[in-house]
């Protein structure tokens, strides 16, 4: 288990290093403005609105005999 933890820690470090490099490069681009959104903001994520409506269309006003029917 500790081997897995060590691998995960290394992967996280590499990802952080990559992100730093990308962010430094993006700062050099003067003609582009980047808007950083919160890591999870469902109000600004269009797919969340679609999912909400799709879920409501399938599950609302419907009766299911078993929970597994709802999942299918």
What pLDDT was estimated at residue 1?
A: 58
Domain count, the chain: 1
Domain of residue 15 covers 2-71
What pLDDT was estimated at residue 4?
A: 76
For residues 52 and 46, give the distance between their C-alpha atoms in angstroms, rounded to a whole number: 10
* Cα dist from 38 to 10, 25, 43, 51, 69, whole Å: 25, 21, 11, 19, 35
Q: Which two tokens stand for residue 30?
A: 């003067």
Task: Check residue 33 and report its DSSP letter.
Answer: -
- The continuous run of DSSP H or E covering 71 comes out as helix 67-71
What pLDDT was estimated at residue 61?
A: 74
What pLDDT was estimated at residue 18?
A: 77
Predicted TM-score (pTM) of the model is 0.33
For residues 60 and 45, give the distance between their C-alpha atoms in angstroms, rounded to a whole number: 22
Regions of the chain where pLDDT drops below 50: none
């Amino acid at each position: 288990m500790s081997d897995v933890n060590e691998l995960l820690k290394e992967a996280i470090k590499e990802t952080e290093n990559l992100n730093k490099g990308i962010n430094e490069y993006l700062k050099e681009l003067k003609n582009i403005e980047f808007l950083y959104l919160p890591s999870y903001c469902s109000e600004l994520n269009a797919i969340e609105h679609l999912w909400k409506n799709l879920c409501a269309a399938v599950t609302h006003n419907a009766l299911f005999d078993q929970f597994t029917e709802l999942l299918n």
